[in-house]
Amino acid sequence: MSYKLSIVIEKNEDGYYAYCPGLEGCQTQGDSVEEVTANIQEPVELYLETLST
């Protein structure tokens, strides 16, 4: 199944912060946009797995 989700990426003094407004608790951080983009995939996938059970 395929989903379209919004991911918000913000820069702060410690690097980058990403979260998915539609999925409570799906958030992460990283030192670069590439890292935070890769990091957000796991919490989103885990959250979506809980919906299918």
Which tens digits make up the pLDDT trace of 2-26?
A: 779 999 999 999 999 999 999 999 9
Helix, strand or coil for residue 53? coil
Yes or no: say if 13 and 52 are a contact pair by the CB < 8 Å rule: no
Domain range annotation of the chain: 8-51
DSSP string, 3-37: -----EEEEETTEEEEE-TTSTT-EEEESSHHHHH
Average pLDDT, the chain: 93
pTM: 0.84
Topology of domain 8-51 in CATH is Double Stranded RNA Binding Domain (3.30.160)
